[in-house]
Amino acid sequence: MLKKDLRSLLDYSPDTIEQLLISAGTLKANRPHARTTVFKDKTGVLLFEKPSLRTRITFETAINELGGHAINLPAESVQMGKRESVSDVAKNLERWVHLLVVRTFSHATLTQLADACSIPIINALTDADHPCQALAFALTLRERFGEARDCPVAFVGDGNNVCHALMILAAKLGYDFTAACPPGYEPNPGILASCQAFSRKTGKRLAVVRDPAAAVRDAAVVYTDVWTSMGQEQETAQRKKIFAPFQVNAALMAQAPAAALVSHCLPAHRGEEITGDILDGERCIALDEAENRLHVQKAVIVHLFS
């Protein structure tokens, strides 16, 4: 039997994703009582190469509320690939702990860790994917729209890891999804092709366009993320110029349906990809989504250890 991981939602069936969301809803309703002992007296290590607020706190809290113990292991103290190989790090950690939660730059690092060790690994963000964020978004959609799939999602901005994760989720669960990206900043072609194949099975629309106004015209939710991700800081000035027409602001939201909601994975760069009035407005569900990170991550841990 293959060990369970969460590397990408591409690896999960629609039924498994739905079960995760149902589990997350139950865990949320029952909080603070975990009502499960699957992680009792176990230890999870958070191995983070990138800064974190939401991811670290929600995973530490999730592990604690499931009866386990969380250890935050800063990347600079490990120096994977420098002080010792990625494989050696994995093979040591598997002897002591029960779970690795990994937030790293290269998706290949996550894959190397997962392939080298026998304990479950959760992708807490790589440059290619952010599955836990997508699950939190999906739980927030369920809370707002129920199980209906007639709530199109529009992503406006860089075709980055968050765009990939939301696109995968939409394709798997059967939501219409449109990404509006500048030329040269589209989603990864391989991930896009996989998602298009899933969307054809569900009969839903999945498209990449250039015009943000066209993307949001029928959207139930408009989503955005930072224009410059961690590790791309040297491109900041260039990206600000290229992405300026893709800002989520009052003018863009006027092109969307009046009831359209807005979200962001956070942290946000106010005045860049989104204006403060939109981020702080009544239509924004970013904080609801941030809260739901805790509950979906608890559900993932329960799934991996059940």
Across 42-51, 102-111, 206-215, 231-240, least confident range? 231-240
> Residues of CATH 3.40.50.1370 domain(s) within the chain?
9-129+293-304, 133-289
In this structure, what DSSP letter does residue 245 have?
G
pLDDT tens-digit series, residues 77-112: 887 878 899 999 999 999 999 999 999 999 999 999
What is the mean pLDDT of the segment spanning 198-220? 96
What is residue 1's predicted lDDT score, i.e. its pLDDT? 52
Q: Average pLDDT of 183-199?
A: 97
Contacts of 260 (CB under 8 A, 6+ apart): 216, 219, 220, 221, 222, 253, 283
Q: Between 161-173 and 14-30, two packed helices, what is the crossing angle to 10 degrees?
A: 100
CATH number of 133-289: 3.40.50.1370
Which tokens hold the place of 134?
A: 């997508």
Which residues neighbour 119 within 8 Å (Cβ) at sequence distance 6 or greater? 3, 93, 94, 97, 98, 99, 100
Mean pLDDT of the chain: 95
Q: What is the CATH number of domain 9-129+293-304?
A: 3.40.50.1370
Helix (H, G, I), strand (E, B) or coil at 5: coil
The string of pLDDT tens digits covering residues 62-78 is 999 999 999 999 878 88
114 or 35, higher pLDDT: 114
Torsion sign (Cα): 48, 102, 265, 19: negative
